[in-house]
Amino acid sequence: MKTIEQVLFEVVDLCNYLMIPYAVMGGLAVRIHGIPRPTYDIDLTITAKGDHLQQMFAEAESRGYMIPAAYRGGWLDRVADMPIIKLRTYVEDGKGIDVDLFLTESAFQESLMGRRISCEIADRQIDVVSPEDLVLLKLLANRPRDLGDIQDIRFMQKQLDERYMRSWAEPLGISERLDSLLQEPEY
């Protein structure tokens, strides 16, 4: 049975093979910047468009990933106003692991990609969003789990670049959430 880390490595290998810049985010990034917690999907931001994206679909399918026809036809889902496509791989007894690929489209996502950092996961170098960008993404999602993740990130990181986060809070529409967060004591 494949683990979530093995699927991550497969997707990273795919991105590297196609020379598609990526940054891991979501629960796997929380494992790097915060307190590890279970996660059951993989979230990445990637920089790929048009033919490059179609090439990625073809290569992913050849490696056993399923891509819904709507995405192959050019449809994009949106989460927190960021375009997203989904891949799925099956690991055991019909159980699957979803891979959410957020497409770099906005100035914030371009900044996020420019600030990504290389981290070691199971003896592999993987590009991961910065802790500040992860906090901003978590504030955008604003689910109870995300707010807990933010506290864990703050606890483990001690110092975050508050100025950078404030520079994006207003354009992202999360100024009040960030202000509220920064007024809370760090644990």
Q: Where are the domains of the chain?
A: 4-183
How far is the C-alpha of 151 from the C-alpha of 187, rounded, in Å? 8
Q: If you classify domain 4-183 with CATH, what class do you get?
A: alpha beta
Q: What is the three-class DSSP state of 83?
A: strand
pLDDT of residue 13: 97
pLDDT of residue 93: 75
Q: What is the three-class DSSP state of 136?
A: helix
Asked if residues 134 and 164 have their Cβ atoms less than 8 Å apart, the reply is no
Model pTM? Answer: 0.93
pLDDT of residue 150: 95
How buried is residue 116: exposed, middle or buried, by Cβ count under 10 Å (0-12/13-18/19+)? buried
pLDDT means over runs of 10, the chain (187 residues): 91 97 97 93 92 91 92 85 91 86 96 96 94 97 93 93 97 95 78
At position 120, the amino acid (one-letter code) is E
